């Protein structure tokens, strides 16, 4: 399985309640009789809330939008039947990506640092989607249950022998049984990895990428970390060997020598991440400038320099650096968002608003553009308009805790105290803190005591969250 190591115990606790149930539905295979797809979905959402409440995330609308749109595109050519995906973008420069039960897809910011092309990035995500489509979590539970009786019998024999005075012989039996169990789990994990590689390659090619990017990524990572005492999390959960690379390369070579390797948009997102994890914006500016000196046509480096200059308050210089990019592609959403941000920082709010309106005519449902509108409205002190814009954004991002957090802030500014508590409740529920969520709805109900219909809706939502809390606690027992 490809989970973050700190969460394995949590996951084990979560599925323990399910594996003991006697009324689980059978969907035609052994794994479905143990953990159904719907139970995986519930399990994944519960785990996601726990993760969000414990780990720092990247609140970058453009990066989030790229991850979501790229993975959804990959899912269209995958065998994934349930495409109710949820995403979490972790604020870590370490290389990692993972898939959790029920369609949870996680990406560390560090993946963009290590995956040098979009095809390499897509190869990692196609691999993770294959874990989901093949239901490796449920199959892993099923495999453990198959092992359990013979394993327990062998361990019991060893314990009895040790208790009867066999001493070292009994202990050796216990140790060898445990070793056999670990070896079986590793074997099953290797099978999962090989299957995810094979299916990921097929889907990578179907999505229009060059499948050769997968062995290239693995090969470079193995060379880079061959002698490291502590390799990145991705290599701990996805062990890379010479044989695995050779197998993946042989399979990739069977596809036609075509397919997309890279895109400018991916490199622009990489520049955003590189700036995030650079020591200071000034150091980042020097690095991007050096790249431009070496290759003046490197648009991603020019874009990174624009962002770094804005971070250091060099607004006039940022405008000069950005101008050639806008001149070359005047309708590019990424460059226009940078100009909007620049105009807002320079207090040219009318210019920012005019540019936003032009972009909305081209990209009416773009999430980062919608977020930029909210930011501009707040800067213009148009609080009521910002609240309406956020309510509209919730129609498509009702499961995004970052949006709910801002909704709560804006409702507080507008004097909508009941709505403030409701928004806080949704935020806390999404980060797994049901006690706080339910308490916030208590506050809202007291405020709405004179409005029967509103109080009834709040009460109904509170009952829903109480039931969610009960189910999560039941899974954790």
Helices H / strands E in the chain, number of each: 23, 3
How many angstroms separate the CA atoms of 288 and 324, rounded? 16
Whether the CB-CB separation of 39 and 18 falls below 8 Å is answered with yes
DSSP 94-109: S--EEEETTTEEEEET
Active site residue 426: no
What residues are paired with 99 via a beta bridge?
Answer: 105
* 86-90 and 97-100 strand pairing: unpaired
**Annotated catalytic residue within 197, 278, 400, 433:** 197
Q: What CA–CA distance (Å, rounded) separates 397 from 389? A: 12
Q: Name the DSSP letter for residue 415.
A: T
Is 106:88 a contact under the CB 8 Å cutoff? yes
Dihedrals phi, psi of 296, to nearest 5 degrees: -60, -20
For residues 394 and 407, the answer to whether their CB atoms sit within 8 Å is yes
Give the bridge partners for 100, in sequence order.
104
Give the Cα separation of 238 and 192 in Å (integer).
10
Query: Cα–Cα distance between 216 and 239 in angstroms, integer?
Result: 15
Alpha carbon distance 37, 139 (integer Å): 12
Query: Distance between CA atoms of 200 and 2, rounded to whole angstroms?
Result: 14
Q: Which candidate, 364, 354, 359, 311, places its Cα nearest to that of 337? A: 359
Q: What's the rounded Cα separation, in Å, for the pair 334 and 349?
A: 18
Which is catalytic among the residues 120, 128, 343, 433? Answer: 128
Active site residue 197: yes
Is 438:424 a contact under the CB 8 Å cutoff? Answer: no
Other CB atoms within 10 Å distance of the CB of residue 244: 18
Q: Is 193 known to sit in a ligand binding site?
A: yes
Containing H/E element for 281?
helix 281-294
How far is the C-alpha of 196 from the C-alpha of 131, rounded, in Å?
6
Residue 294 annotated as binding site:
no
Phi, psi of 3 (to 5 degrees): -110, 160
Residue with tokens 């980062």: 368
DSSP secondary structure of 111-171: HHHH--SHHHHHHHHHHHHHHHHTTHHHHHHHHHHHHHHHHHHHHHHHHHHIIIIITHHHH
Task: Tell me if 120 is assigned to a ligand binding site.
Answer: no
Instruction: Mark the binding-site residues, compressed into ranges.
Output: 127, 131, 193
Instruction: Mark the binding-site residues for Zn(2+), compressed into ranges.
Output: 127, 131, 193
Supply the residues annotated as catalytic: 128, 197
């Amino acid at each position: 399985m490809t989970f973050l190591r700190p969460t394995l115990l949590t996951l084990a606790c979560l599925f323990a309640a399910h594996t003991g149930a006697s009324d689980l539905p059978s969907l035609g295979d052994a794994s479905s009789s143990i953990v159904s797809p719907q139970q995986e979905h519930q399990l994944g959402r519960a785990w996601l809330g726990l993760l969000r409440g414990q780990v720092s995330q990247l609140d970058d609308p453009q990066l989030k939008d790229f991850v979501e749109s790229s993975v959804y595109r990959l899912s269209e050519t995958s065998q994934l039947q349930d495409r109710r995906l949820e995403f979490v973008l972790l604020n870590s420069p370490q290389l990692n990506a993972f898939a959790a039960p029920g369609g949870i897809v996680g990406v560390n910011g560090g993946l963009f640092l290590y995956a040098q092309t979009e095809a390499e990035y897509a190869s990692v995500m196609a691999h993770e989607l294959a874990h989901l489509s093949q239901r490796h979590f449920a199959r892993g539970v099923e495999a453990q249950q198959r092992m359990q009786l013979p394993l327990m019998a062998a361990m019991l024999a060893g314990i009895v022998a040790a208790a009867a005075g066999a001493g070292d012989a009994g202990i050796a039996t216990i140790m060898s049984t445990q070793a056999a169990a670990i070896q079986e789990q590793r074997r099953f994990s290797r099978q999962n990895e090989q299957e995810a590689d094979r299916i990921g390659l097929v889907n990578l090619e179907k999505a229009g990428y060059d499948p050769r990017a997968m062995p290239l990524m693995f090969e470079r990572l193995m060379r880079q970390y061959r002698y490291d005492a502590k390799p990145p999390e991705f290599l701990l959960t996805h062990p890379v060997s010479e044989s695995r690379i050779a197998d993946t390369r042989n399979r990739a070579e069977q596809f036609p020598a075509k397919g997309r390797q890279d895109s400018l948009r991916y490199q622009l997102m990489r520049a955003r991440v590189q700036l995030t994890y650079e020591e200071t914006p000034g150091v980042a500016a020097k690095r991007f400038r050096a790249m431009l000196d070496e290759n003046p046509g490197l648009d991603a480096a020019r874009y990174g320099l624009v962002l770094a200059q804005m971070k250091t308050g060099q607004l006039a210089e940022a405008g000069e650096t950005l101008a050639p990019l806008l001149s070359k592609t005047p309708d590019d959403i990424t460059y226009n968002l940078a100009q909007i941000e620049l105009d807002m920082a320079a207090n040219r709010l009318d210019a920012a608003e005019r540019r936003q309106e032009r972009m909305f005519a081209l990209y009416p449902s773009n999430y980062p553009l919608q977020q930029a509108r909210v930011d501009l409205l707040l800067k213009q002190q148009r609080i009521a308009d910002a609240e309406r814009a956020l309510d509209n954004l919730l129609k498509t991002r009702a499961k995004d805790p970052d949006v709910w957090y801002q909704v709560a802030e804006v409702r507080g500014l507008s004097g909508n105290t009941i709505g403030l508590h409701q928004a806080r409740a949704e935020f806390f529920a999404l980060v797994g803190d049901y006690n706080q969520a339910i308490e916030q709805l208590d506050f809202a109900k007291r405020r709405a005591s004179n409005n029967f219909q509103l109080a009834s809706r709040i009460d109904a939502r509170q009952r829903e969250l109480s039931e969610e809390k009960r189910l999560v606690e039941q899974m954790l027992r």
